[in-house]
Structure formats: C-alpha cells, structure tokens
Amino acid sequence: MKRASKQYLVGSLLLAFSVYQLWVPDFWEFSLYATTGLAFLVMGMIASKRFPKQNKLLTALSWILILASVFLLLFLVRTDV
C-alpha cells in the first residue's frame, strides 16, 4: 500500500469517526477528529504529488491543521470535558 493511500485511509476513518461523534453529540471530540482527519487527507495529497503547484499551500494548511489538532487534544486532556 502506498504512503498516500495509507494517509487517505486513515484520514477517511478519522472523518467517519468524527461524523459519529457529531451524531452522539460530542462536539469537542468531533472537532478533534475532524481536524486530524483533514490533516491526514492533506498530507496524503502532498505525498501523492498530484498537486505540484499547490505544494506550498498544502504544506502550510497541513501544519495549521496539525497544530489545531494538537491544541484541541491538549485542551481536551486538560479540561476533561
């Protein structure tokens, strides 16, 4: 399995789990899983090299999503919501 395919798979699973969290309704967990899933999907797009002109934009977007995921995780661990 290629690296990009693995990241697409993990990102899709995280987004599916975020939809479940939205259905439960646990909005903080939804935001955590949604941002993490989107980060994996963007990293998969970078690894697939299908968008060479948007590589800088995708890299910046992936870092923003990764940092948002980290801050959400730390917030959820700290507040124990």
Quote the pTM value: 0.89
Q: Which structure tokens are listed for 75?
A: 């917030």
* Model pLDDT for residues 15-39, shown as the tens digit of each residue: 999 999 999 988 999 999 999 999 9
Residue 51 backbone zone (phi > 0: left; psi -120 to 50: alpha; other: beta): beta
Predicted local distance difference test score (pLDDT) of residue 20: 95
Predicted local distance difference test score (pLDDT) of residue 59: 95
CB count in 10 Å sphere of residue 20 = 12
Indicate whether 80 pLDDT > 80: no
* Model pLDDT for residues 41-51, shown as the tens digit of each residue: 999 999 988 88
Cα angle 61, 16, 3 (rounded to 5 degrees) comes to 55
Indicate whether 81 pLDDT > 60: no
